[in-house]
Amino acid sequence: MSENATPKIDLTRLPTEGVNPRSADLDRLSVLEIVQLINQEDQGVALAVQKVLPAVAQVAEAVAEALSGGHRLFYSGAGTSGRLGVLDASECPPTYGTDPAQVQGIIAGGFEALIRSGEGVEDDRAAGGKDLLARGVQAGDVVIAVAASGRTPYALGALEAARQAGARTAAVTCYPGSPVGQMADVAIEVLVGPEVLSGSTRMKAGTAQKMVLNMITTTAMVRLGKAYGNLMVDVQPTNAKLVERARRIVTLATGCSYEQASEALDQANRQVKTAIVMVKAGIGAEEARLLLKQHKGFIRRALEARGISG
Spatial contact of 168 and 73, defined as CB atoms under 8 Å apart: no
User: Is 91 known to be catalytic?
Assistant: yes
Neighbours of 136 (CB within 10 A): 11
Beta bridge partner(s), residue 168: 142
105 Cβ contact list (under 8 Å, min separation 6): 74, 75, 82, 85, 86, 87, 88, 89, 90
Rounded to the nearest 10°, the torsion over CA 29, 30, 34, 35 is: -170
Among 297, 211, 227, 221, smallest CA distance to 64 is for 221
User: Is 189 known to be catalytic?
Assistant: no
DSSP state of 231: B
Neighbours of 41 (CB within 10 A): 20
CA atoms within 13 A on the CB side of 34: 8
Annotated catalytic residue, options 91, 160, 263, 287: 91
Annotated catalytic residue, options 17, 41, 122, 189: 122
Find how far residue 124's CA is from the centre of its chain.
Answer: 24
In this structure, which amino acid lies at residue 236?
Q
CA distance linking residue 191 with residue 13, whole number of Å: 13
- CA 246, 64, 142 angle in degrees (round to 5)? 125
206 Cβ contact list (under 8 Å, min separation 6): 80, 81, 84, 148
Spatial contact of 67 and 102, defined as CB atoms under 8 Å apart: yes
Active-site annotation, residues: 91, 122
